[in-house]
Amino acid sequence: MESQQSKPATERKIPGTEVPAAAAGIAGDGGESPAQRRWLSRVGVTTAVLAACASVATMFSASYLNKAMLDQIEASDNWNYYQAKGIKLAVLEGRLELQKALQRSETIPAKRENDESRAARYRQEQEEIRTAAESRQQLATEHQSRHSRLALASTGFQIAIALAAVALLTRKNGFWLLSVLVGLVGVVVMAWGLFA
């Protein structure tokens, strides 16, 4: 009795509280052969690589979606500006037509030349604005298609991760090989989304 009391509390065992070490089954044999442990390790590493690829694909997908939205907003702004210039041009052309119809006095030709030069400027500005709007619209469409391809790649990686989990649970090599195959397809689609 004295020997137990002289030991620190952390070294004393309470009767009936013996718990088997949980880590012993993991760190030790666990019932798997060395080949099975190597296979489990490969599946685990594959899953980690697939998860990293899914994260990268998702990040780029979100980035391209943001770019597509910003370009679409800019294109809409340009089209609104284009329409505003068109309204100004229509009002100015209406005034020019009215002046022609009324055949005003000598003071009108100077104002008329000024109005005609403004109308020409509005037409040129409208053309430049239209070109910029179409360019932004094209960029938005391109970014949207990249987003779609990268989202598809991310989905492929997630399916591959799920197949790897099934392989671990069932201990079936076929599910792991299918997981690797789906992951490779995801890599191809991701490369297509990034570089095509």
- 58-70 pLDDT, tens digit per residue, is 999 999 999 999 9
| pLDDT recorded at residue 27 | 47
Is residue 22 domain-resident?
Answer: no
Is residue 7 domain-resident?
Answer: no
Is residue 159 domain-resident?
Answer: yes
Cβ neighbours of residue 140 under 8 Å, at least 6 residues apart?
68, 69, 71, 72, 75
Is residue 137 domain-resident?
Answer: yes
62 CA to centre of own chain = 2
Q: How many domains does the chain have?
A: 1
Is residue 17 domain-resident?
Answer: no
* Regions of the chain where pLDDT drops below 50: 22-28, 106
Q: What is the pTM of this model?
A: 0.71
| pLDDT recorded at residue 169 | 94
| pLDDT recorded at residue 155 | 97
Q: Which domain holds residue 176?
A: 37-195
Question: For residues 59 and 56, what is the distance between their CA atoms, to the nearest angstrom?
Answer: 5
Is residue 72 domain-resident?
Answer: yes
| pLDDT recorded at residue 64 | 97
DSSP the chain: -HHHHHS-TTT---TT-----HHHHHHS-TT--HHHHHHHHHHHHHHHHHHHHHHHHHHHHHHHHHHHHHHHHHHHHHHHHHHHHHHHHHHHHHHHHHHHHHT--TTHHHHHHHHHHHHHHHHHHHHHHHHHHHHHHHHHHHHHHHHHHHHHHHHHHHHHHHHHHHHHHHT-HHHHHHHHHHHHHHHHHHHHHHH-
Is residue 23 domain-resident?
Answer: no
Phi-psi region of 31 (alpha: psi -120 to 50; beta: other; left: phi over 0): left
Is residue 29 domain-resident?
Answer: no
